[in-house]
Every structure is written in structure tokens, then in C-alpha cells.
Structure 1
Amino acid sequence: MKTNVSDLATTAIAPVIWGSTYLVTTEFLPGFSPMTVAMLRALPAGLILIMIVRELPSGIWWLRAFVLGALNISIFLGMLFVAAYRLPGGVAGTVLSSQPLIVVILASLLLSSPVRLSNIIGTLVGMGGVALLVLTPSAALDAIGVAAGLAGATSMALGSVLARRWRPPVSPLTFTAWQLTAGGLLLLPAVVLTGQPIPVPTITNFLGLAWLGLIGAALTYALWFRGIGRLPPSVVSSLLFLSPLTAVLLGWSLLGQTLTVLQIVGIALVIGSIWLSQRTNT
């Protein structure tokens, strides 16, 4: 499949915006539990989109919507937060960056997509770039945290591949509405079981939730699933390396964090891995 530059650029918007999640969560939503933020990010956005598109799943798509909602939203976000709590941020980010490699493997098994050596090299280079971007010398490993990170990466990788295999008979916006709503509903029991009260939201909290829900979920997932339907899986998955890149650049530009020589090398490797992945499919 030939890569369309316009589709590539449009799809890339999603992981770039996802890279702002850490900054928005820490600066706009202090005091909120991770599961609460995940649920409030997905469910209201999904319900708003349902009201806009006014279309519910039918037949087998009820089951598929909840399967994909679990893989791309509930399980992914749940495992993401477990990894974030048990691992230093750099280790968690590096483990989660294995997702593009997992997508290449799953796409080969489920979609019969060819596994090209350049794709494997590209994803490994990207993972190396992410490691240089976010790892610190004092980073420590935790078996449960690493397992959770790999489970989260595998969950969304499988969800992305299944979304392409099943090819929904609706627009990307409607498809996004179904998954966000299903994923948000599946997160509700986790919020209840944690027993942590939801703080009375301030204007700042509302702004943070609006960004994460309307922009960081409703818009970005619609763009992401549109890209999944139009681009090769290896190209789409390689764009995920843009998230940690964006997070580091935002921390440097807005929070006054330093940018080391190794991080600059990491930036070059991430950009190079994305270029290699899309060149392979041109």
C-alpha cells in the first residue's frame, strides 16, 4: 500500500496531541486518581460523539465495539497507569514504545502483512531513540510494572490491528464514539472499586478534562482510526514514537526542563525511524 503524505500528516496529529497528556494531567488535574482521569477522558467524549453522530452499533458490532473499547481504551489505559505508578517515567515510556514492533508482528499474523527487515530496524531504532529521550541512569526495573507496560502496549496494538481487519461500516467519528463510550463504561467499575472520591472540579480542572476528552480523545482517536483504515499498519504504528518526543519537547519548552545531547540524538533517531517506516511503504 502506498503511503499518502496527507494521510500520514493527519494521522500524526493524534500521537503528537497524546504527547501532551502528561503535562495536562500533572498541571491541570492534581488530586484526580488515574482511573478517574481515564474514565472522564473517555466516557463523556464518547457520549458527546454518540449524540452528534446519532448512530449506535448493530448486530456483531455491539460486541466488536466493546472488544475494541476494552483493548484500545480500558485495558490500555489501565495497564498504562499501573506501569506509570510502578516504574520510573523513562522506563515506562521505553516499555510502551514496544507497541510499534508488536503491531508489525500482529499485522503479519492477522492481516498477512509482509514483515520487512526495514520495518523491524525502523521500530528498533525508534525504541532506541525513545530510550535516549526518557531514560535516566537511575532508572530501576519492576517486574509487575514491566509486565503491565507490555500488556498495555500489546492491548492497543491488537486493538489497532483488529480495527483494520474488521473495517467498520461507519465513519471514523462514529467508530470512535462507539469505542470511547464502551471503553469509558468498562472503566466505571474500576473507578468505583478504587473508592477514591472525585474532587469538585475547578475551572482549571474543566479545561484539562476538556482538552483530554474532546481533543485528546474524541478528535485524536477519530484521526487515528481514519489513519488505520488508510495506511499500512507499520507506518501508523511508527507514528506513536511522536508521543514521547512531544512530551519531552513540551517539558523543555513549557516546564523549563533541560534537553541533553543524548536526548537530541534520541530525537534524531525517532524522526529517522518514522522516515524509514514510511519510505519502506512508498
Structure 2
Amino acid sequence: MTSPAAQRVLGGAGSGVPRGNPSRTVLTAFAPAAWGTTYVVTTELLPPGHPLFAGLLRALPAGLIALAIARTLPRGAWWGKAAALGVLNIGLLFPLLFIAAERLPGGVAGTLAAAQPLMVAVLAVAVLRERLSARRLAWGLIGVVGVGLVVIGPKAAFDAVGVVAGLGSAATMALGVTLTKRWGHPAEAGPTAFAGWQLTAGGLFLVPVTLLVEGAPPAVDLSAALGYLWLGLVGGLLSFVLWFRGITTLPVTSVAVLVLLSPLVAAALGAVLLDQTLGPVQLVGFGLALAAIVAGQLPAPTR
């Protein structure tokens, strides 16, 4: 059990950080920015053909580390809730992301993932009983168009399995984000414990699935080991602690639109590391996507 002082450090209940805090938004935005490195790491460092194994190594070790740090386990109904959120946010999301990253160009996969804010805007009506906002939908569409202009080239390929995986990853994450906002987190659990519960649950979900579908793990050389470490410690542990901290303290639609940063970072890394060109159309797309992100952080106009 963590002490009240530790809860304040971890950003749990009673930490006194107001909703809509700009510094909290910046920290939350680190998560999707780090996830934007997934495409480069997957294609350049990881052994191909093992997306489930990659998801497993990204989730389970990070979850166990978080549990060791927080030393807080779920209680009562939170065992079931943590398991459900872990499957949605981790267990299903990770392999779908890796499948999309392997079977689609990074741009196509990123554009499909960018549909997540639109899905959250709809789910907020059904799950959170919020009013349907034409403004949110409009900016969500602008964000998807912007991402599409940035990352989809004239020779983009649309593999059917990859498209389904990309849309599925957006849907599972949208539902996971919305349910996380609806349920919140128990007062005794800071974001480190909350992330640890879900990473561990999602990783345990992936263990039998990975063994049944992929069999023995692949050979791991030094570059692959570095890739798995990056995805597990930075793209997994650190990112999800900050992400869940943001979801529970910021408006859900404001958090959801931050996911647009992921394909933008992927495109920027492609330009810097893989010599991919960003022309005028891509720059216009960057502007549209960034405008959608900023608009998503602004409060809804009052009548």
C-alpha cells in the first residue's frame, strides 16, 4: 500500500492538479509522441512476423516493473475492471498495432489510428452521456484529413488484414479510453499502479495467445533487444503511466485528440531517419493536424 505522500508524487487522487492543466497536457502528449516511434522501431529493428511476441514483451515486463514500484494491487470489483481495461488498452491494442505496422505502410496505419478521436467523440455520448458535439466531430475529421495528407503517399498499399487491424486498434483504444474515464481509478492507486495493473493484465492475456498463434519466440539479436527495451520501457511503462494519469484528470476528448501526434512523429522520424520527403502537401497536413490537436484542448464555447 502506498503512502499519501507517495500518492501525491505519483499523481493519484488528491494530488491537487486542476483539470485542463497545460503541464499535464504536455506530459500526457508524451505518450502518443513516444508511440509514434513504433513504426520505425518495428520495421527497422524487430524481427518480422512476430507482432504478438512484440506486444507481449512491450506489456508484461513493464507491468511487473510498475507493480513492483507501486506495490498496490486491485481490490474488489477493480480486479475485473483492471482486467477488462488491460485487454482493451493493452492485450488487443498492441498486437493490432504491430499487425498494422507490419502489413501497411506507416502512413496508412497512422491514418487509420487517427480515427480514434472520432470514435471517442461518439462513445462519449453512449458511455459518458455527453452531448454529441459537432465541433469535436469536425475537428476530428480535420485531424484525420491532416494526418492523411502527411503520411499517405501516391503508392500507398491497402492490405485488407492490415486495414482491419488498424481500425480495430483505433476502436479498442477508443473504448478503453472512454471506459477508463467512466470508471476513473481507486483512491489508493496512483497512475503507476493503475498502468501496472493494465500492462500486467494485457501481458498475461497475450501469453497463451502468442504461444498458440506464433509458437516459439524469434531469435533476438542486439538491435531487436534494443527495440524491445525501447518499446517496453519508454513506449510501454513511462508512456502508459503518463497516459492514464492524463485520462483520469483531463477531458476525455482532449486526451483522445492527442493521439494524432503519433502518426505525425512517425512521419517526422521517417523524414529524418529514412530520408522520406515532406513536400508542401505534407506540411499543409501537419498544420491541419496540429490545429486539430490545439482545438481539442480548448474548452467548448458557452452559449
TM-score normalised over the length of structure 1: 0.93
Q: Which residue of 1 aligns with 2:236?
A: 217
Q: Which amino acid is 1:12 matched to?
A: A
Which residue of structure 1 lines up, in the alignment, with residue 130 of structure 2? Answer: 113
SS of equivalent to 1:111: coil
Give the alignment of 1:105-254 within 5 angstroms: 105-169=122-186, 170-254=189-273
Which residue type is aligned with residue 120 of structure 2? V
Mapped to 1, the partners of 2:120 and 2:200 lie a distance apart of: 24
2:32 touches 2:258 (CA, 8 Å); kept in 1? yes
Aligned-partner residue type, residue 201 of structure 1? V
Q: What is the aligned-residue identity percentage?
A: 48
248, 257, 264: which is aligned to 2:276?
257
Shift of 1:140: 4.2
| Separation in 2, partners of 1:158, 1:137 | 32
Match of 1:36?
Answer: 53
Pair 1:36–1:137, CA change in 2 (3 A): same
Distance in 1 of aligned mates of 2:205 and 2:264: 30
- Whether 2:70 is the aligned partner of 1:53: answer yes
Question: How many positions carry a matched residue from both structures?
Answer: 282
Indicate the structure with greater helix content.
1
| Equivalent AA in structure 2 for residue 127 of structure 1 | V
Query: Is the Cα contact below 8 Å between 1:118 and 1:280 reproduced in 2?
Result: no
Q: 143-152 vs 97-106, which deviates more?
A: 143-152
Are the counterparts in 2 of residues 79 and 151 from structure 1 also a CA contact under 8 Å? yes
- List alignment gaps of at least 5 residues for structure 1: none
Distance (Å, rounded) in 2 between the aligned partners of 1:195 and 1:4: 44
- CA root-mean-square deviation: 1.9
Give the Cα separation in 2 of the matches to 1:64 and 1:227. Answer: 18
Kindly indicate whether the alpha-carbon contact (under 8 Å) linking 2:116 and 2:256 is maintained by their aligned counterparts in 1: yes
**What amino acid maps onto 1:269 in structure 2?**
L
Give the counterpart letter for 2:52 in structure 1: M
Q: In the alignment, is the contact (CA less than 8 A) between 2:180 and 2:247 conserved in 1?
A: yes
Aligned positions of 1:8-47 closer than 5 A: 8-31=25-48, 33-47=50-64
Q: Is the contact made by 1:103 and 1:237 (CA closer than 8 Å) also made in structure 2?
A: yes
1:77 aligns with 2:94: yes
Flag the 1:91–1:26 CA change in 2: closer, same or farther, 3 A: closer
Any conservation in 2 of the 1:18–1:243 contact (CA below 8 Å)? yes
Tell me the distance in 2 between the aligned counterparts of 1:18 and 1:191.
22
1:167–1:212 Cα change, 3 Å:
same
**CA gap 1:262/1:8 in 2 versus in 1, 3 angstroms:** same
How far residue 127 of structure 1 moved from its aligned partner, in angstroms, is: 0.1
Asked if the contact 2:50–2:218 (Cα under 8 Å) also holds between the matched residues in 1, the reply is no
The CA deviation string for residues 220-269 of structure 1, in whole angstroms up to 9 with x for no partner, is 01111111111111110110000000011111112222112211111101
